[in-house]
A and B are shown apart, each in its own frame.
Chain A
């Protein structure tokens, strides 16, 4: 018996070496299936979207005319809508998420911090359709009445305010969609930031306090620099969520094609366009154009997520 063999090459025993090989093969097959799935997503989107890519060429990305009647499809409107809503949502959610995480880790009494942290983590798991419904039935009407109308009323004709705030005052627009997205990614980002801040060794903090730093200085000069890489990774993860989110946005963005001309105008994102039109696509070119949109979304999110994972390295959230 090879009693000194290292464990990972050991194949002792008679408990069915055929079975053992089969089991190993099944595990390997399952791991490979994950790769095949991801590869299959890219390939099927590329094949399904090819007619549209071939027909419209690069103009598919730059034209903003999307017209199923005349069979002209340009994706600039949804692409810009996707990027703008995700960026706005991130701008709103990021300071809040960092604030929540810092408060919970550094300032909040332990006895309250734990329940709040658990609540925040649980809320991160609520399905997006719930956020979307709240946006549609609660946020949009409130926003139209208390924010949008007053702003439009006050804007002087011809002024820059008029241009930025113009739009149908029904509360379904790019700005409210961003607010919903922000509320949705906020608990997720706060929970991950909190875990990240807790990885900072206590000695570092104590050393800084020992030098006479205030809590603010400790966080700014010790805690945040220590986890900077991870923070960028988390921001990218949040951005990835916001870019690909479908239901929360579809409810409230107004689903207008074309280039949005103000942040209070109705718009669309790639995901909302696909969700709205795909099941009822009128022609082959229409569905090909939608699949090509999906490919664009995949490439954008894949890039963002790959950067996030690379930055987060071994840490996994």
Chain B
């Protein structure tokens, strides 16, 4: 066969194959979103937010799980933002280029993609076993460990984007380095720092595995931080694997709520990130 023809044919085949790959990927993802919407949206009503989880066959909602998720994500995010922003600041402003800085950065990247269930085991070993009890604190701390590396990395990335003229200008006025970081660099990177927190929140709000044996779950409404606490993901897990139709329906509603929350937080984070880079 003609060489030119072979080249053209293989080129066309290749283009078609990549198109098919894109089509397959999009189809799979659309199918999943469609199931989520069609099975979840019918169950959303005010009871979901006002009533606690029901016994099989009776009416109820997910208020205890939603509240628990909010509380534990709040604990996790507060800790992660403090640690992550400081650590990211250290990497960007102080010791990022020292050998120790390279080690920290490398291991932070590893921690970022470490299996979340192992973080659950770790918190179980250090907090649940010694104190003989599952608690919301343990769940919140497990989530904090998952969000910390994300906040650290976003902080470092965004701070290193800030022009060094900013820092030099501050120091030329006689301010100390710490003062400049807190009052000049952080301020100019504010949108980026918020993005880091949002990305951290998006990551932990759907995490199930680390909560299974730290916060355990709770069928009642509870705001007691030293007691087991329900969360949306663990409740979904329990309900989806149950044999009751109404529990499975609630599981779909919960999955839809989480997906919507994560998607909207991610979208807000992206918009802020774009603004942060532009300014």
Contact = CB atoms under 8 A, between A and B. Distances in A.
Given A133-B252, A134-B35, A278-B213, A13 B114 contact: no
B7 A214 contact: yes
Nearest to B239: A133
Nearest to A291: B121
A40 B122 contact: yes
Contacts of B126: 40, 44
B65 interface: no
Nearest to A278: B213
Given A20-B176, A34-B149, A186-B25, A41 B115 contact: no
Interface stretch (B12-20, B54-62, B70-78): B12-20
Q: Is the interface of A mostly helix, strand, loop or mixed?
A: helix
A263 interface: no
B41 interface: no
A129 to B, nearest CB: 5
A121 to B, nearest CB: 8
Q: Is the interface of B mostly helix, strand, loop or mixed?
A: helix
B113 A241 contact: yes
Interface string A25-54: 011111111110110110011011000000
Interface stretch (A102-110, A159-167, A221-229): A102-110
Contact of A45 (B82, B118, B145, B233): B118
A129 B237 contact: yes
B251 interface: yes
Interface string B153-181: 10001000000100110010011111101
Given A246-B116, A309-B110, A34 B152 contact: yes
Contacts of A91: none
B117 interface: yes
Interface string B110-148: 110111111101101110000000000000000001001
B22 A316 contact: no
Given A23-B181, A216-B10, A305-B114, A30 B121 contact: no
A302 to B, nearest CB: 6
Interface in B1-34: 7-8, 10-11, 14-15, 17-22, 24-26, 28-29, 31-32
For chain B, give the interface size range: 35 or more
B84 to A, nearest CB: 8
Nearest to A104: B22
Contact of B89 (A15, A16, A27): A27
B194 interface: no
Contacts of B175: 12-13, 15
A291 B125 contact: yes
A125 B176 contact: no
A33 B79 CA distance: 12
A75 interface: no
Contact of A278 (B32, B114, B121, B177): B121
Given A47-B125, A127-B206, A274-B121, A134 B36 contact: yes
Contact of B17 (A99, A132, A183, A215): A99
Contacts of B122: 40-41, 44-45
B270 to A, nearest CB: 8
B52 interface: no
B51 interface: no
Nearest to A13: B174
A309 B106 contact: yes
Interface string B170-201: 01001111110110000000000000000000
A33 to B, nearest CB: 6
A217 B181 CA distance: 49
Interface string B243-267: 0000010011001001100110011
B25 A138 contact: no
Contacts of B227: none
15 contacts: A10-B171, A15-B174, A27-B87, A30-B85, A31-B90, A31-B101, A35-B103, A96-B24, A103-B22, A129-B258, A134-B35, A297-B115, A302-B110, A306-B106, A316-B157
Given A13-B175, A31-B91, A125-B262, 9 more contacts: A10-B177, A16-B179, A35-B103, A127-B206, A187-B25, A246-B115, A279-B216, A301-B114, A302-B110
Q: Report the 6 A-B pairs with minimum CB-CB distance, sorted nearest first.
A: A127-B206, A99-B21, A244-B115, A30-B86, A27-B90, A20-B178
Interface of A: 7, 10-17, 19-21, 23-24, 26-35, 37-38, 40-41, 44-45, 47-48, 95-100, 102-104, 106-108, 116, 118-120, 122-123, 125-134, 136-138, 183, 186-187, 190, 214-217, 219, 237, 240-241, 243-247, 251, 271, 274-275, 278-279, 290-291, 294, 297-298, 301-302, 305-306, 309, 316
